[in-house]
């Protein structure tokens, strides 16, 4: 009896604290912003002189991680939209301009997206369980 009440209480607290993924207008806006930033970054890499080519490729990590985390701190789904838009821009760039730069952008951004998704998903679950209070025991 005691265990069943704890499980039901924890399930109710988790449902109250975690919202379902709701795709909204702002998520599409940030996906568009991510697409444009990604495209500009890939053009920068394409036009970069040979001496800074490695730094140009590393700029993808900086332009995904820093804005992605900042946007995700405001609203994690907007951050996901930004990163998905950033990754999707690699596909047409791969077809139209340079297969390596587009593929690198797509693969790197998907990898960063997965890492950030796991970190934020875990962090939000942990924070939401702290925020909803401690355990209640009914005997």
* Number of structural domains the chain divides into: 1
In a domain, 71, yes or no: yes
The residue to which tokens 């355990």 are assigned: 135
| pLDDT tens track for 74-104 | 887 888 889 999 999 999 999 999 899 899 9
Could you tell me the residue range of the domain that residue 119 belongs to?
A: 2-131
Instruction: With a cut of 70, list the residues of the chain below it in pLDDT.
Output: 1-22, 121-139
In a domain, 26, yes or no: yes
Q: Using an 8 Å Cβ cutoff, are 101 and 108 in contact?
A: no
In a domain, 137, yes or no: no
The answer to pTM > 0.75 is no
Confidence at residue 19, expressed as pLDDT on a 0 to 100 scale: 57
Confidence at residue 117, expressed as pLDDT on a 0 to 100 scale: 80
In a domain, 139, yes or no: no
Confidence at residue 129, expressed as pLDDT on a 0 to 100 scale: 58
Confidence at residue 38, expressed as pLDDT on a 0 to 100 scale: 92
User: What does pLDDT average to over the chain?
Assistant: 79
Task: Express as a percent the part of the chain with pLDDT over 70.
Answer: 71
Confidence at residue 6, expressed as pLDDT on a 0 to 100 scale: 55
In a domain, 138, yes or no: no
Angle at alpha carbon of residue 84, lines to 80 and 85, rounded to 5°:
115
Q: Using an 8 Å Cβ cutoff, are 26 and 78 in contact?
A: yes
**Alpha carbon separation from 138 to 7, 91, 129, 130 (Å, rounded):** 11, 55, 19, 20
């Amino acid at each position: 009896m005691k265990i069943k009440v704890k499980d039901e209480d924890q399930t109710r607290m988790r449902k109250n604290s975690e919202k379902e993924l709701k795709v909204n207008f702002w998520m599409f806006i940030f996906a568009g912003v991510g697409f444009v930033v990604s495209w500009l970054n890939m053009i920068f890499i394409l036009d970069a002189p040979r001496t800074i080519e490695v730094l140009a490729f590393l700029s993808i990590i900086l332009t995904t991680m820093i804005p992605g985390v900042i946007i995700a701190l405001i609203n994690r789904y907007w951050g996901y939209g930004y990163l998905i838009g950033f990754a999707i821009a690699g596909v047409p760039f791969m077809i139209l301009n340079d297969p390596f730069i587009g593929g690198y952008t797509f693969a790197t951004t998907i990898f960063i997206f997965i890492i950030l998704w796991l970190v934020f998903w875990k962090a939000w679950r942990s924070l939401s369980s702290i925020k909803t209070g401690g355990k209640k025991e009914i005997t």
